[in-house]
Every structure is written in C-alpha cells, then in structure tokens.
Structure 1
Amino acid sequence: MSKYLAVIPARGGSKRLPRKNVLNICEKPLIAWSIEASLNSNLIDKTLVTSDDEEILDISKKYGAETIKRPHDISNDTATTYEAIEHAINALEIKYDYIVLLQPTSPLRGSKHIDEAIKLLEEKNADAIVSVCEVEHPVQWSMTLKNDNDMSEFVKNIDSRRSQEQEKHYRLNGAIYICKTDKLVESKSFFLKDNIFAYIMNKEDSIDIDEELDFKLASLILSSRKD
C-alpha cells in the first residue's frame, strides 16, 4: 500500500500580506487550516511543516503537525518550493511513495479534496495530480494592452460570444500537488511531462491567499460555513 507524505511549506516572510501564515482567520492561524485538513485525511500518513520561522513551527506543533527547521539558504525570496521539499525528504528516515504538497494559503481546501485527489491518482495509476479550477472569466476576453492603453486591437480580436458559449478553461489553484517521490526528485517539479492529471475543484474552495482581498474573501466564506 502506498505511503503519502504531506508537506506544508511556510516561510516567515511574505511581502504582499506580511506574516500571512500566522494571521488568524476565523479564530485559527492560516496555516492551521491546512494542517487540520491533512491530519483529517484518511490517506495521508504523515503531515510535515517545513519553515524557517520559529513562530510558524510552534503553531504547527500545537495543531498536531510534525515540523522541520528549514535552513536560511533555502528560505529566501529566490528559494524554490522544491528545494524545501527536497530538504524535507532527505531529512526523513522513512521514505514515502508520494509527496502531497499543501500550500498553507489554501484554507478552503479540506480533507475531502485531499482524499479525492489521492483516489483519482490511484484510479488513473498516475504519477502526478495537480488541482485546478475553472477560470473566473473567459480567457477569450483577455488580451494585452499597448503602452498607451489603446484598445483597437483588443476590440478587433475579442470573442464576443456570451460566456456560457465559450469553451471552458482551467487554471492552477495552488491547493494540491501530488507526485510520485522518485519522479519528483528526478524532474525537480510536480509538472511531469506525462501521466499527470487534473483534479478539478470549485472556485470557492480554490481561493489562494496572496493579498488582503483574498484573506477577506476567505474569511467571509469560512465564517458563513461556521454559521
């Protein structure tokens, strides 16, 4: 039976919304929502938070996650998520068949989504699964503008069909990434060239907190679910 390691990477620094991973959202630190979702999963074998920040590590332990202190050289603005995951993999004695990346900025992604994504991976016999959601507006209505904001080319090329008539497009939502460990280490990416499938989530559960507006919207939805 395959073993799944959930890794939650959480740096202390964040520019657009300072200290966002420890900000309280509906009476819990933001990172707690991802920890609890992972711990409540029926299929995750270990939940590990990797961080350079002592406060984040302390909060993570309080909510039941195992933790690993991330070195400074892979915690700066230029460090990649893969470097943090690689460090975690190498630090563990037990090896896991699959890595499940859960970014702490997706508080509306729950244990149900994690289990569904893992089950999809097993049904497809896939090497990787990445969560997506439908785009908020048709991509056919998007275009670049010239420096002077002239819209003549924009209007000329725009697809004027109603949104209901447009072909569906999807975007990454940042909530769930799953990859076979050896494939991940080999490619240094969750985006494999083949045998990778999308797990589709709805837009509401796909909110990724990057700035204050995202935080307010997620707070509103979570509050409404508690009522």
Structure 2
Amino acid sequence: MINSKKVLGIIPARGGSKGIPGKNIIDLAGKPLIAWTIEAAKKSKYIDRLVLSSDDDDIIRVATQCGCEVPFKRPDEFAKDNTPGIDPVLHAISMLPGFDYIILLQPTSPLRTAEDIDGCIEYCMIKQANCCISVTEPDKSPFWMYHINSQGILEPILQTDNEVATRRQDLPVVYALNGAVYVAKCDWLITNKSFLSKETVGYAMSKDHSIDIDSLRDLQLAKLLLDLKV
C-alpha cells in the first residue's frame, strides 16, 4: 500500500514460448527465470498482493513453489499467440477487484530489483500520474539510424534541421521501453485499455537492470551480469 492506495502485482506468464521453449521457467543462475521476478516483487514495500496469470500448469507449479499466489488459471482466450498483452491484465483486475493500482511485472526482466519496482510506483505518485512505465537509454541512438531507400541511399529515420552529431554525448537523450515495470490506476487502465498514452510518464532504469530475455543470447548476458555481481 502507498498513500492509502492498495496495489495489485501481476506476473503474466503464458506457456508456449516460440523463441526459447519453456522460457519463463528456464534456468538462470540456478533459479527458474520467473523466480527472479517473484523474489523482487515480494520485497516491494508497496505491493499488497502478488499473483500469477498463466495458462500453463508447469509455470503455475514453479511459481507456486517460489511463493507466488495463483488464484485463477488464465482462460485460453487470453493465452493465444495474438492475444493483446493488456487482456490478461484487465482479466486479472476483473477477477481481483478492490485495488487502486496495478503493477505489471514481466518475468523476462530478471535483473529488475525491488528498488526499481518501488521507484516506479513512487515516481507515479510524485507525478500524480495515471500511469508510469519503466524506460532505459538504448544502446544505439535513433538519431544514428537510417532506412535504405530503393536506390540504396541512407535516409535518416529522424529528420532534423541540423547535421547529425558525430559524438554520442552531443545527441539528445532518448529512452526506450524496457518492459520491466508498468504501473497504472486500475480504473484508468480499464478505460484506456493500454499503459501507453499521452499521459504516461517514464521512470528511467539502468541498462544492466533492463535486460529483457527474448533469446538465448539475452539469457547468457543476464547470467554474465549476475555472475559479475557475486
């Protein structure tokens, strides 16, 4: 709870990953991938209830063993390849009413900490925002990105009046969504049906905490970063 507001934490974990089979429960440094998110969320000062939303019995079993509550099994219609990511979140809100805020924590962000989670919640409150999403500075600036046209000519993605800076420090600071933390007022999210809007504020996280597991290379990088912390 924060400012007398109740906070629901949801970890969405669908079965049937195509890129890495069994991704959500694959081993990372001696723990199932999902365990890292469960442990960080349970250390949060503000999350009143933490639940898993999954259609997969193996994920449910592992999450339960890790201490995450599973009050319902996700219906098949919310677990398809083309299911919008917001649908399981709205389903969870409908199944568990009475909360003021919801925080979405994807299991593919294992290096996100309790401090990142609470920092995003606090920033949402400080800004008096309806929604706050975690972001990080990208490895490559979009000011150095180009299309290649039909003649093979490089055309900048972002058009500017000035010449492109040759030094990174001369470029405008930009941020990319990192998929780690999503916070929103429940009533607002039910109406808006998306965490992203013109009202959404961004909470900056470090690159090291922003690793998103989408490939075996990402998994290896996360393991390396965890090894370096030991």
TM-score by length of 1: 0.92
Distance 1:4 1:142, change over 3 A: same
* Residue 82 (structure 1) shift: 1.4
1:13 aligns to 2:21 (yes or no): no
Residue 52 of structure 1 pairs with residue 60 of structure 2: no
Separation in 1 of the partners of 2:32 and 2:148?
A: 39
SS in 2 for 1:115: helix
- Structure 2 match to 1:192: 197
Query: Does structure 1 retain, via aligned residues, the 8 Å contact 2:130–2:185?
Result: yes
Q: Flag the structure with higher helix content.
A: 1
Change (3 A) 1:58 1:138: same
Q: Secondary structure at the match of 1:176?
A: strand
Equivalent in 141, 144, 160 of residue 138 of structure 1: 141
Give yes or no for the alignment of 1:163 onto 2:168. Answer: yes
Match of 1:122 among 112, 120, 125: 125
Task: State the partner residue of 2:82.
Answer: 78
Q: Secondary structure at the match of 1:17?
A: coil
Q: Does 1:212 align with 2:216?
A: yes
CA-to-partner distance for each residue in 1:83-112, whole Å, 9 max, x for gaps?
A: 1112212222x4110010001100010101
Letter in 2 for 1:191: L
In the aligned structure 1, how far is the partner of 2:91 from the partner of 2:140? Answer: 38
CA deviation vs aligned residue, 1:38-90 (integer Å, no higher than 9, x gap): 11101110111100000100111111111121111110101122111122122
CA distance in 2 between counterparts of 1:113 and 1:169 reads 19
Task: Classify 1:160/1:38 alpha carbon distance in 2 versus 1 (closer, same or farther; 3 Å).
Answer: same
Structure 1 counterpart of 2:181: 176
Q: Are 2:147 and 2:154, in contact at CA under 8 Å, matched by a contact in 1?
A: no
Aligned with 1:69: secondary structure?
Answer: coil
TM-score scaled to structure 2, two decimals?
0.91
> RMSD in angstroms over aligned alpha carbons?
1.5
Identity, in percent, stands at 40
Please list every run of 5 or more consecutive structure 2 residues that lacks an aligned counterpart in the other structure.
none
* One-letter code aligned to 1:187: N
